[in-house]
Amino acid sequence: MSSLRAPARRAGSMPRSAIREIMALAATVPNVIHLEVGEPDAITPAPIIEKAFAAVRDGATKYAPNAGLRPLRESVAQRCGARWGKPVAADRVVITTGAIGGLFSSLFAVLDPGDEVLIPDPGWPNYEAVAHLASATAVRYRMPASRGFLPDIAELRALVTPRTKAILINTPGNPTGAVFPRPLMQAIVDLAREHGLYIISDEIYEDIVFDGTHVSAAEFGADEHVFIVSGWSKSYAMTGWRLGWLICPPHLSATAASLQEPTTSCASTPSQMAGEAALAGDQKVVDDFRAMFQRRRDLVVKAFAGTDYLPIVPAGAFYALVDVSAAGASSFETAKAALLEAAVAVVPGNTFGPDTDKYVRIAYTIADKDLAEGVRRLRTFLEKRGSTSAKRTAHA
């Protein structure tokens, strides 16, 4: 009998996110406090659920078009147009299976094997994973704490080569909580125009901004260059509905929609009905979630007051990077030790890029009381580790 042939090299060599590794290990630890999961603890608001269930009972259980249900695409276009101060054609909207579906379709729509895409460091690990599957090269641009976890235009420009096809940006940022100011966004759009590049702007946290204002890459009149990725998961606590949207350059919307056929065919029809109910309903739920996350952000800032552990105050999203360099180990070793010794789960920074290995990420997406205890455990652990590391250095 012949042996099986080797599995696909691209899929087999795809880097695994350390987020999943920590989640798997945390499942074996009793009484753990979870600061690793980027998912709101609230359930989807009841009016959204009720309207979606009513639609299902009325027969909304069939396939949808690849690009999504027309009324939902129109609702998304109207929402985005109102925010950006300009009309947005519904034909540019593709409803996707989560925001990751939008990222996948946008990257595969523009990348050929051997192309380069600039991705952030720190940045969500799935950016690199999707580029890898497209047989493209992910080139990281630095966003150090000394710049507030924001990119430098001169450094971005220096990374552009004849093979560069796109720049991927994320604001508000995961894992940093940084929010791009308007002049920076304008400069990135200008750079894309100058070099004929696409911008893929991940704006899934756009409704969760505490300080400043969210500025979309779509606001600068470069529609032919810009993809906008967003959705319902974070704003409406709808992570499990797996629903997102992609606003495409006009000439690529049909391509992006067609990419859904061999992957997911279409977003779930019941989920699309829920998405329509969310956009049509009372938006106070979004304001309430934002206020909740801001309160928790402030709790985290207060808990780390008087230390150097928190390099910036997050301006948006629901994450913070915590500097663990004093622990004297890699971010993965530190995260593992914090889990096993202090029963607090955090994400090692190296999963977000090589420049991020001195940090761990915490998500303030759990109840205030549990969050306060989790941050207390982490601070106590780091202070103990830092003291031990200092003693080892002194005796070296």
Q: Residue 248: its pLDDT value, please?
A: 98
Domain-located, residue 167? yes
Domain-located, residue 25? yes
Which is more confidently placed, 38 or 100?
A: 100
> Whole-angstrom Cα distance, residue 114 to residue 130?
14
Are 31 and 123 members of one domain? no
What confidence tens digit (pLDDT) does each residue in 14-52 have?
666 677 788 888 888 899 999 998 899 999 999 999 999
What confidence tens digit (pLDDT) does each residue in 319-356 have?
999 999 999 999 999 999 999 999 999 999 999 999 99
Residue 57 has pLDDT above 80, yes or no: yes
What confidence tens digit (pLDDT) does each residue in 208-218 have?
999 999 999 99
Are 112 and 195 members of one domain? yes
**CA nearest to 65, candidates 262, 266, 252:** 266
Residue 8 has pLDDT above 70, yes or no: no
Residue at a domain's end among 280, 305, 337: 280
347-348 sheet: strands from edge to edge:
319-323, 359-363, 347-348
Are 133 and 209 members of one domain? yes
- Domain with 253 in it: 46-280
Q: Residue 24: its pLDDT value, please?
A: 85
Domain-located, residue 223? yes
> Whole-angstrom Cα distance, residue 42 to residue 151?
32
Domain-located, residue 319? yes
Are 18 and 50 members of one domain? no
**CA nearest to 210, candidates 120, 312, 142, 282:** 312
Are 245 and 112 members of one domain? yes
Are 243 and 137 members of one domain? yes
Are 192 and 294 members of one domain? no
The region of weakest confidence among 16-30, 162-176, 230-244, 262-276 is: 16-30
116-121 sheet: strands from edge to edge:
93-96, 244-247, 226-231, 198-202, 164-170, 116-121, 137-142
Are 268 and 317 members of one domain? no
Residue 394 has pLDDT above 50, yes or no: no
Residue 395 has pLDDT above 60, yes or no: no
Are 218 and 265 members of one domain? yes
pLDDT, average across residues 133-146: 97
Q: Residue 392: its pLDDT value, please?
A: 44
pLDDT, average across residues 116-133: 97
pLDDT, average across residues 115-138: 97
Q: Residue 26: its pLDDT value, please?
A: 82
> Whole-angstrom Cα distance, residue 336 to residue 198?
38
| CATH number for the domain harbouring residue 296 | 3.90.1150.10
Residue at a domain's end among 252, 280, 308: 280
Domain-located, residue 105? yes
Domain-located, residue 1? no
Are 212 and 360 members of one domain? no
Give the chain's domain count. 2
Are 190 and 124 members of one domain? yes
Q: How confident is the model at residue 10 (pLDDT cuts 50, 70, 90)?
A: low
Are 332 and 259 members of one domain? no
Domain-located, residue 338? yes
Residue at a domain's end among 250, 280, 310: 280
Percent of the chain past pLDDT 70, that is, above it, reads: 93
Q: How confident is the model at residue 12 (pLDDT cuts 50, 70, 90)?
A: low
- Residue 19, token pair as written in the block: 């987020």
Q: Residue 27: its pLDDT value, please?
A: 84
| CATH number for the domain harbouring residue 138 | 3.40.640.10
Strand duo 164-170 + 116-121: pairing: parallel
What confidence tens digit (pLDDT) does each residue in 199-244 have?
999 999 999 999 999 999 999 999 999 999 999 999 999 999 999 9
Q: Residue 179: its pLDDT value, please?
A: 98
Domain-located, residue 389? no
